[in-house]
Amino acid sequence: MLKKTSLVGLILVGISVISSISNLALAQGYPNRPIRLIIPFAPGGVTDIGGRYIANQLSIKLGQQVVVENKSGASGNIGAAFVAQAEPDGYTLLLGFDGTMVINPHIFDKISFDTLKDFSAVAKIGDAALILVANNNFPGKTVADVIAISKKDPNGLSYATSGTGVTPHIAGELLKQKTGANLTPIPYKSGGQALIGLMSGDVPLAFTVLAGANQYVQTGRLKPIAISAKVRVSSLPNVPTFIESGYPDIYVTSWIGVLAPAKTPKAVVNSLNAAINEILQTPDAKERLNGIGITPTPTSPEKFAEQIKLDLNLFGNIVKTAGIKAE
């Protein structure tokens, strides 16, 4: 019995060693052919631009072409499901977005992937701050003003978003839930259309990504209320955060990162993570990404995975309380 147990133990150790050697060999030979980066949205948006920059820089660093493929539809669900079902060999990657990965699972009745079970976190690229802005006819200037004015109107204050269930919509619901503000979301088809509606006076407020509103705030066409990041942003140094404004619970950013199918070899994940982190720390990457409103945030696969899990729970609670469903 003892000999049999020892033999089993030796076999298990042998399997572990062989697996480790195989993973190491795979990492050392990886990549030896082009890699596909699936972007689950149409070309041209902030996520797409950021993803294409990373793909180009990865091509240079890895010595193999990283080909971008846009597979849009169903708020990113189609592209995400495609990668979830791909071979876990490191040659098909997903440009993940918080809306798709941690919000969609809560707002869609049916979704063909499981964020935690079907993906391996590879590398976080960065965070995009959100901003609450008002048109110049709005009488308030601060978050406290917005809350007070909203409570005086039985119909509440409407705020424009880039769609139902998107991160700006979630940010507005969080503000509503934490402060008792009487706010009503008005979904538009895009962030650009939401800002047009705001500037034309159709709505008094808008929650949007900072990158889209920045130029209008700087030229005085829109009035900034607060930014939902932890610290002020360099492009708008005079605009306070919600935290500074006295609302520490209002912290929501939109993030993008790279994910791979579950069971992708750890050595491959670590190799990609190291390469992307090196890119993110270059002056060129900081300039390019900051220019489109993304703050580079290099981190480990484990910490990125932990954030995904925490955000999945956080956004799930907000969505459930608000009763948000995909249109």
Task: Say what the pLDDT of residue 6 is.
Answer: 55
pTM of the model: 0.86
- The CATH topology of domain 129-227 is D-Maltodextrin-Binding Protein; domain 2 (3.40.190)
Give the residue ranges of the chain where pLDDT is below 70. Answer: 1-28
Task: Say what the pLDDT of residue 28 is.
Answer: 64
In the three-class reduction of DSSP (H, G, I as helix; E, B as strand; rest coil), residue 142 is classed as: coil
Task: Say what the pLDDT of residue 46 is.
Answer: 85
- Which helix (H) or strand (E) covers residue 187, if one does? strand 183-187
> What is the bridge-based pairing of β-strands 183-187 and 157-161?
parallel
CA-to-CA separations, 88 to 28, 276, 296, 302, in angstroms, rounded: 17, 19, 26, 18
Superfamily of domain 9-128+254-322: Bordetella uptake gene, domain 1 (3.40.190.150)
Task: Say what the pLDDT of residue 270 is.
Answer: 98
* In the chain, where the domains are located: 9-128+254-322, 129-227
**Burial class of residue 214 (count of CB atoms within 10 Å of its CB; 0-12, 13-18, 19+):** buried
Rounded (10°) CA dihedral 201, 203, 207, 212: -30
Same fold, 9-128+254-322 and 129-227: yes
Q: How many beta carbons lie within 10 A of that of residue 85, not counting itself?
A: 12
**Burial class of residue 145 (count of CB atoms within 10 Å of its CB; 0-12, 13-18, 19+):** middle
- Per the DSSP assignment, residues forming a β-bridge with 92 are 36
Task: Say what the pLDDT of residue 261 is.
Answer: 98
